[in-house]
Structure 1
Amino acid sequence: MDRDVRDLTAAGAKPTPYFPPIVVNRAARRRPDARLRVVLLNAAGGRKVREILACLRRPPLQSADVILLCEVNTGMKRRPGRDLATELAEALEMSCAYAREFGLRPPGSESEIVSYMGNAILSAAPFEDVAAVAMHKPPTPMAWPMRMRRWSRVGTPTGLVTRAKFGGEELTVGLAHLHSRCTPAERGRQMATYLESFPAAGRAIFGGDLNTTTTELSSRALILATARQMLANPDRFRAPEGYEPLFDHLRERGLEIEGVNVANRATFTFSGLIPRSMRPKLDWLAVRELRPIAGTAAVVAPRSPILMRRASDHDFVMVDLEL
């Protein structure tokens, strides 16, 4: 295990991450074929980590080489002292890079941080470099569960940029989780500041919960207005590319979304009562100088085959790439 991986953001990058990345490296796990399986999930805090692990061990998600995880928390009460990202990595025998975005303090505490919110990359190859990348912080407040309204938090929106070798070839692998309630323009600024730390050339994979709602959701009135738009024009929420400037920033960096995502397929289920045609597409993969294998892009429900209960309100997004 290696927890002393160089932080590439140390050389004057602005804004700066509040917490350093946590890295655990393991020996490389080799595939029998010349392909790379990439899986993305917003883990909804990791409350159902066992169910998520079970999904990752079954077809079609099993044997993933890169797993991108948003909203993986640490220090949860039911698992005191456990890091859910490294717990998943240990179970899957993968390396892990974890970026803590926010530290949470309980009511009445001025210093003690008891849990963290963050994002992680799991890899079948050990990491050679890891960067915690701080992003633009929109002025729109984040949404917090009612039970945590009295908690205080420290930190800033933070993604990851890593580098590893697969099949002898060096790849950049990145992950970001963008703001869910701000305007599309503010999400575009978040993406732009993240990509300042993302290499401009070379083979690369990027993914994350980009919260491409196409709207601002900072007030009840705006949420109701969005609901009316979902009724009037539901297609925009499954094909948000024309409404979200962040996609322009990805293209400028040579990162392509075609072929690695299922077109017009929603990835978020905030209620089973909402028809599939009205659900939004929030989770995305993008690649550069890598070719997706035809027919492998998929959206997979994080559901137990026995009880049929969801492990997250987001779906898995996956694709196989040619190495």
Structure 2
Amino acid sequence: MHRDALDLTAAGAKLAPHFPPVVVNRAARRAKSRLRVVLLNAAGGRRFRDIVKCLKRPPLNGAEVILLCEVNAGSKPSAGRDVAAEMAAMLEMSCAYIPEFGVTNSRGEIIGYMGNAILSAAPFDDVLAVAMHRPRTPPMLRRRRRWSRKGTPTGLVTRVNFGGRELTVGLAHLHSRCMPAERARQMATYLESFPRTGRAVFGGDLNTTTTELASWADMRATARQMIATPDRFRAPQAYEPLFEHLREHRLEIEGVNVANHPTFTFSGLIPRSMRPKLDWLAVRDLHPIAGTAAVVSPRSSILMRRISDHDFVTVDLEP
């Protein structure tokens, strides 16, 4: 991807993306009778070839829309690869990539990017980068590194055409450590740029932890809650006001997500009943096909270790 990304931020201006999106369009695949959507937090994407192997097997194969959070380009975690672009080429799909943060070395030079991507079986008619505010960094995360990063949380709103019908496709990755109210603020800002009408698919790692994780005391309190009330972490809707903003935009989560099923495994020692549900799909004016919503373990084979600490989330829709 182009390394000399343009800084669009100006003093006193409305919050703007720090970097522009990078778009590669390819010819459309033939439209099908259903629309398969897949979501994954790729954890940087260093093992992107294994991710592609997963995407070529049922129930993920043949997806028309793939939403990817945490895909790096050029930085050390991705071994210097442009993860989204290479995955799109391997899958013969179009790609829209938004760098959220530029990773800089000790001399202040950008050596890579951290961002999000949408892969599509049809070319993009329009791609918009949407900047969101950046909650404060918790003191526990402020440690000395040989690198730093600059930028702002940024989502994507795109427009594609499947079988002659327009579809809005959106993606966002929300903050993991802040209070639920701050994530709701991020969501509200993002949705200001998302159309209020028309067929739409939205997804992302929304980090619906139901808590603030800004200090070790917060972490200990959350651990106690996981033991005392584990259900809240698999069904966080009542604790995360961001879902109200989705409903205001008529973006529905019912039927397109597996209810009460966790999507995040920070340690295999944690019982499944205590793991959180962080990754979500939402749709408008589209109907999920019964029995197709699934959470899929991110392993290229049963004997291989996980590709990501997040699971794949998928559903088939009637277009």
Give the TM-score range, shorter chain: over 0.9
CA-CA distance at 1:150 after TM superposition: 3.5
**Residue number among 160, 166, 171 corresponding to 2:167 in the alignment:** 171
Structure 2 counterpart of 1:38: 37
CA-CA distance at 1:307 after TM superposition: 2.3
CA-CA distance at 1:149 after TM superposition: 2.8
CA-CA distance at 1:137 after TM superposition: 1.6
> Residues 204 and 105 of structure 1: is their aligned pair in 2 closer, same or farther, counting only changes over 3 Å?
same
Aligned-partner Cα distance in 1 for 2:146–2:154: 23
Structure 1 counterpart of 2:296: 300
Following TM superposition, the consecutive aligned residue runs of length 4 or more in structure 1 with deviations greater than 2 angstroms are 76-82, 139-146
Matched, 1:52 2:48: no
Matched, 1:71 2:70: yes
Matched, 1:229 2:213: no
CA-CA distance at 1:82 after TM superposition: 2.9
Please say if residues 103 and 114 of structure 1, whose CA atoms lie closer than 8 Å, have aligned partners that are also in contact.
yes
Q: Which amino acid aligns with 1:172?
A: T
Structure 1 counterpart of 2:110: 113
Q: Percent identity?
A: 75
TM-score by length of 1: 0.92
Structure 2 counterpart of 1:133: 130
Deviates more, 1:205-214 or 1:130-139: 130-139
> Residues 79 and 263 of structure 1: is their aligned pair in 2 closer, same or farther, counting only changes over 3 Å?
closer
Aligned-partner Cα distance in 2 for 1:258–1:143: 36
Aligned-partner Cα distance in 2 for 1:246–1:27: 36
Aligned-partner Cα distance in 2 for 1:143–1:76: 23
Matched, 1:199 2:195: yes
Aligned-partner Cα distance in 2 for 1:149–1:202: 45
CA-CA distance at 1:17 after TM superposition: 0.2
CA-CA distance at 1:142 after TM superposition: 9.1
Structure 2 residue ranges without an equivalent (≥5): 1-11
Please say if residues 74 and 111 of structure 2, whose CA atoms lie closer than 8 Å, have aligned partners that are also in contact.
yes
Q: Which amino acid aligns with 2:129?
A: A
Please say if residues 138 and 215 of structure 2, whose CA atoms lie closer than 8 Å, have aligned partners that are also in contact.
no
Aligned-partner Cα distance in 2 for 1:201–1:102: 31
Cα-to-partner distance string for 1:62-89 (whole Å, 9 max, x where unaligned): 0000000000001034866531001000
Cα-to-partner distance string for 1:119-155 (whole Å, 9 max, x where unaligned): 0000000000000110122124498697x73422110
Matched, 1:27 2:27: yes
Please say if residues 45 and 78 of structure 2, whose CA atoms lie closer than 8 Å, have aligned partners that are also in contact.
no
Residue pairs, 1:138-177, within 5 angstroms? 138-141=135-138, 149-177=145-173
Length, aligned pairs only:
309
Matched, 1:92 2:88: no
Q: Which amino acid aligns with 1:27?
A: A
> Residues 260 and 183 of structure 1: is their aligned pair in 2 closer, same or farther, counting only changes over 3 Å?
same
Deviates more, 1:277-286 or 1:43-52: 43-52
Please say if residues 301 and 310 of structure 1, whose CA atoms lie closer than 8 Å, have aligned partners that are also in contact.
yes
CA-CA distance at 1:48 after TM superposition: 1.1
Structure 2 counterpart of 1:5: none
Please say if residues 125 and 164 of structure 1, whose CA atoms lie closer than 8 Å, have aligned partners that are also in contact.
yes
Please say if residues 72 and 78 of structure 2, whose CA atoms lie closer than 8 Å, have aligned partners that are also in contact.
no
> Residues 159 and 79 of structure 1: is their aligned pair in 2 closer, same or farther, counting only changes over 3 Å?
closer
Q: Which amino acid aligns with 2:118?
A: I
Q: Which amino acid aligns with 1:109?
A: R
Deviates more, 1:136-145 or 1:155-164: 136-145
**Residue number among 294, 317, 320 corresponding to 2:316 in the alignment:** 320
Aligned-partner Cα distance in 2 for 1:18–1:64: 30
Please say if residues 142 and 180 of structure 1, whose CA atoms lie closer than 8 Å, have aligned partners that are also in contact.
no
Structure 1 residue ranges without an equivalent (≥5): 1-11
> Residues 68 and 74 of structure 1: is their aligned pair in 2 closer, same or farther, counting only changes over 3 Å?
same
**What SS class does the counterpart of residue 194 from structure 1 fall into?**
helix
Please say if residues 140 and 215 of structure 2, whose CA atoms lie closer than 8 Å, have aligned partners that are also in contact.
no
Please say if residues 143 and 181 of structure 1, whose CA atoms lie closer than 8 Å, have aligned partners that are also in contact.
no
Aligned-partner Cα distance in 2 for 1:317–1:79: 22
Please say if residues 164 and 172 of structure 1, whose CA atoms lie closer than 8 Å, have aligned partners that are also in contact.
yes
**What SS class does the counterpart of residue 109 from structure 1 fall into?**
coil
